[in-house]
Structure 1
Amino acid sequence: MKRYQGMVFSQAKKAFLTDEEAEDFTQEVFLKTYESLSQFRGESQFSTWLFQIARFRLTKVFKKKKLPITDWKEDISSVADHSKPSVVDILDKEETSHNLRSLIAKLPKSYQMPILLHYFENKPLKEIASDLNIKLGTIKSHISRGKDLIRKWWSHEIES
């Protein structure tokens, strides 16, 4: 849980309005993961499997939430307010995020771990270098090379 809670929580913060909702969702995901642990077959990385559980739980939460019908003036103002993402936007973003995670899972481990720690757990580069016992310049290089590979694979997937 310690290893992946930052990843799940950072994604939950993007989907929910308050940190409290994001924390509750994160706990729910880890509870569901624990309950389903016997079903993990090891065909993918644990982080990929965990992310799938989080994604399905997020979809379920938003399907359960039935927003009350409000006054038409409020509806118009909410449509005009582009700062609040719609459920469709959030789910689309989750799909993109899932595709990105799949590409990250294909990276060599030396590139994968620094990218996950920096972008999904929001760890500073110096801390990553210290934790992995690798020079800071090497961490920067691995992240850069990993991002280049992801860009290459991403553009290839879009073309096909």
Structure 2
Amino acid sequence: MTIINDQTYIDKILKGDTNAYAFLVEKYKTMVFTLALKMVKSREEAEEISQDTFIKAYKSLSKFKGESKFSTWLYKIAYRTCLDALKKTKEQYSVDVIDEITINKIKSTESVLEGIERKERAQVINSCLLSMPEEERSILWMFYFEELSLKEIIEITDFSESNVKVKLHRARKMLLSIVEKNVEPELINHYGRK
């Protein structure tokens, strides 16, 4: 139903009804802004990237063929716009503190962090994610926190399926290794005895 609704508005826009674009912006502005905020350091830059994304999408709307969901196509534009912004500023992006629900999605890390209070775990994971290379961090974020499918990640990143799987596997191992190095054994033992 979402695809039909999106396509209906896309058709209206392509026929000259520019006001119909407001529906798509309203529907997807949170998704685009959230991605941008995860990939860049400031809200202001994330807002700029969001605006750029919607402008680029509007200008390229005639190229959308409906082979994927509109949201995936838009996510890809947002992702590329974020990468372009990061290249220009050469700054590392920041990941907001992960909430207690999201942190449970990384099962291999969970065993290392068992017993540590939720807030401390979120801070540890956040810090560890920040020390990872950009591509691995992005793929982990998309797969675990945005819950995108492998197919969607492949479409967004333009990596092959095997490349995404390898990067995701390496990123999991890298995150686990970073967590193990950054969490003091005494802290794990202290909480483990409780």
Structure 2 length-normalised TM: 0.41
Please tell me whether Structure 1 or Structure 2 has the larger radius of gyration of its CA atoms: 2
